[in-house]
Amino acid sequence: MKLDPQTYAAVASRAECLATANDIEAALDRMAAALTARLGDKDPLVLCVMTGATVVTGRLLPRLDFQLRLDYIHASRYQGATRGGEIGWHHRPSEAIRGEHVLVLDDILDEGITLEHIVRACREDGAASVTTAVLVEKEREHACAADVVGIRVPDRYLYGYGLDYKNYFRNAPGLYAVADVDC
């Protein structure tokens, strides 16, 4: 569904910036250092979790100065809503994963259900190892933990740097918490 320009502007004006682009770029530097230490000699297969992880993947990969390959995996459970539902699989690269040291890269760890399903699928599909990294982790309980976390934020609905609000705002140059009235 499309947002009309008035609603779009009103949502943006009510949102609160929780992390600036500078904060996030510094977090990406830290993530790159941690991932280099873990995977620098493993020739990993990086799996971008579509669609939200496109921005973190694009910003992080040029910081990883070692041999790697890029593919994608697509499981989602929000579909433009602010509450998650059943997980839906759209692309599971089972053949590509077999025997690989996999790095699953996602934008956010919220309830952790998406990452839990993806890690389980990678193990079922015969990955040699599975490492997980997320740009943002919400301060709440998660169904599974991420190995590498860029930035931790309060448990509010967020947009920006790949994260969407009603399929918009993935291009916002920071992390913004949506006002309660818009959730």
Ligand X SMILES: O=P(O)(O)OC[C@H]1O[C@H](OP(=O)(O)OP(=O)(O)O)[C@H](O)[C@@H]1O
101/114 with CB nearer ligand HPA: 114
| Closest C-alpha among 164, 153, 158 to residue 176 | 158
CB of 137 to ligand HPA, least distance (A): 11
Contact status, residue 79 vs residue 85, Cβ threshold 8 Å: yes
Active-site entry in 106, 107, 110, 125? 110
Query: Under the criterion CB under 6 A, does residue 49 sit at the interface with ligand X?
Result: yes
Residue 77 touches ligand X, criterion: CB under 6 A: yes
Phi, psi values for residue 29, rounded to 5°:
-60, -45
Q: Which of 22, 47, 40, 57 is nearest to 170 (CA)?
A: 57
Residue 158 binds which entry of ligand HPA, ligand X, none, CB below 5-8 Å type-dependent? ligand HPA
Are 49 and 74 spatial neighbours (Cβ–Cβ below 8 Å)? Answer: yes
Among 76, 82, 153, 156, binds ligand X (CB under 6 A): 76
Does residue 106 carry a catalytic annotation?
no
Computed on alpha carbons and rounded to an integer, the radius of gyration of the chain in Å comes to: 16
Q: Which stretch binds ligand X (CB under 6 A): 1-9, 64-72, 74-82, 173-181?
A: 74-82
> At a CB cut-off of 8 Å and minimum separation 6, what does 2 contact?
none
Q: Is 124 exposed, middle or buried (0-12, 13-18, 19+ CB in 10 A)?
A: exposed
78 near ligand X, rule: CB under 6 A: yes
8 binds ligand HPA (CB under 6 A): no
Mask for 42-81, x = binds ligand HPA (CB under 6 A): ------------------------------------x---
CB of residue 45 to ligand X, shortest distance in Å: 18
